[in-house]
């Protein structure tokens, strides 16, 4: 009986030692990540500091004391990253605005029918409903490049637009028949940005492209692309890119302004390292 009790006590003691050892290793690991995060912060490597401190949280969830101490460090890293990013964002936004201002004068806005969004067209291009077989490039109010295609007096089951430059060609995605508008034997449809993936950039790099094929389920319609039409397509694509670049730069700046406000709010409410409040 005595031997059984001794073995049980020894086993319990070994288990306690093992748990203590594991706890010590976890605490050491957490403290090591904290120290590395602090060093990264002092070196102004704010993103690196955030990565290390996030790793501390996920890897050592039971090390509450170390994690609590790291909260202020993380807020300081957020503040530093936000300040640096806002500075870089100001430069990017300024450049995007300059680029957009250089292009914008060549466009005018068209107010569409009630209930429909307006759009931009190059100045000098008619906004009247297309009355011939062809395409028209446009830029939406939200800054997206799209194309309206029209097949006059024929029903080809319009599905896609194809551009050719000699043996090279690129095609839009196929659209659903539900998106075709039929009026008096003619067909028209809008091809959205997702339908035109890669086409704008392709036209920029293939300025010898001279043929457009309106592809349908029942036939095709060929349209000769002249220099004016090619220029309108490329100008609309570039205007869209400039609008999107400015929008993205503005959104990024707003994101880091929110981050800065959050970080400074946390710093104002978290105890200072080494204070009695910890």
Q: pLDDT at position 17, please?
A: 47
Rounded Cα–Cα distance for residues 225 and 233 (Å)? 10
Rounded Cα–Cα distance for residues 199 and 236 (Å)? 12
Q: pLDDT at position 112, please?
A: 76
> Do residues 75 and 263 touch, judged by C-beta distance below 8 A?
yes
Rounded Cα–Cα distance for residues 266 and 74 (Å)? 10
**Sequence spans of domains, the chain:** 2-100+252-269, 109-248
pTM exceeds 0.75: yes
pLDDT along the chain (278 residues), means of 10: 52 48 78 94 96 94 92 95 94 95 96 80 86 93 95 93 95 95 90 96 94 95 93 96 96 95 94 58
Rounded Cα–Cα distance for residues 43 and 49 (Å)? 9
| Sequence-distant (≥ 6) Cβ neighbours of residue 19 within 8 angstroms | none
Rounded Cα–Cα distance for residues 65 and 63 (Å)? 6
Residue 232 exposed, middle or buried by CB count within 10 Å (0-12, 13-18, 19+)? buried
Q: pLDDT at position 16, please?
A: 45
Q: pLDDT at position 127, please?
A: 83
């Amino acid at each position: 009986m005595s031997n059984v009790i001794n073995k049980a006590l020894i086993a319990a003691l070994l288990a306690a030692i093992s748990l203590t050892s594991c706890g010590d290793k976890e605490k050491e690991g957490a403290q090591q990540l904290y120290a590395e995060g602090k060093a990264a912060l002092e070196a102004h490597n704010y993103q690196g500091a955030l990565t290390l401190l996030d790793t501390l949280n996920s890897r050592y969830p039971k090390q509450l004391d170390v994690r609590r101490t790291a909260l202020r460090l993380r807020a300081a890293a957020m503040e530093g990253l936000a300040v640096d990013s806002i500075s870089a964002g100001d430069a990017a936004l300024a450049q995007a605005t300059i680029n957009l201002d250089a292009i914008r004068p060549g466009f005018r806005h068209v107010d569409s029918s009630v209930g429909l969004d307006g759009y931009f067209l190059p100045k000098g291009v008619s906004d009247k409903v297309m009355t011939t077989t062809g395409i028209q490039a446009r830029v939406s109010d939200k800054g997206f490049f799209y194309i309206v295609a029209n097949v006059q007096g024929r029903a080809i089951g319009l599905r896609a637009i194809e551009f050719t430059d000699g043996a090279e060609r690129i095609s839009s995605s196929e659209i659903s028949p539900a998106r075709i508008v039929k009026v008096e034997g003619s067909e028209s449809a809008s091809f959205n940005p997702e339908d035109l993936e890669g086409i704008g950039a392709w036209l920029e790099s293939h300025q010898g492209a001279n043929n457009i094929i309106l592809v349908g389920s029942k036939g095709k319609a060929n349209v000769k692309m002249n220099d004016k039409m090619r220029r309108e397509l490329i100008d609309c694509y570039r205007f869209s890119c400039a609008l999107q670049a400015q929008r993205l730069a503005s959104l990024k700046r707003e994101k880091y302004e929110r981050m800065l406000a959050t970080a400074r709010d946390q710093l104002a409410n978290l105890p200072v390292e080494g204070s009695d409040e910890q």
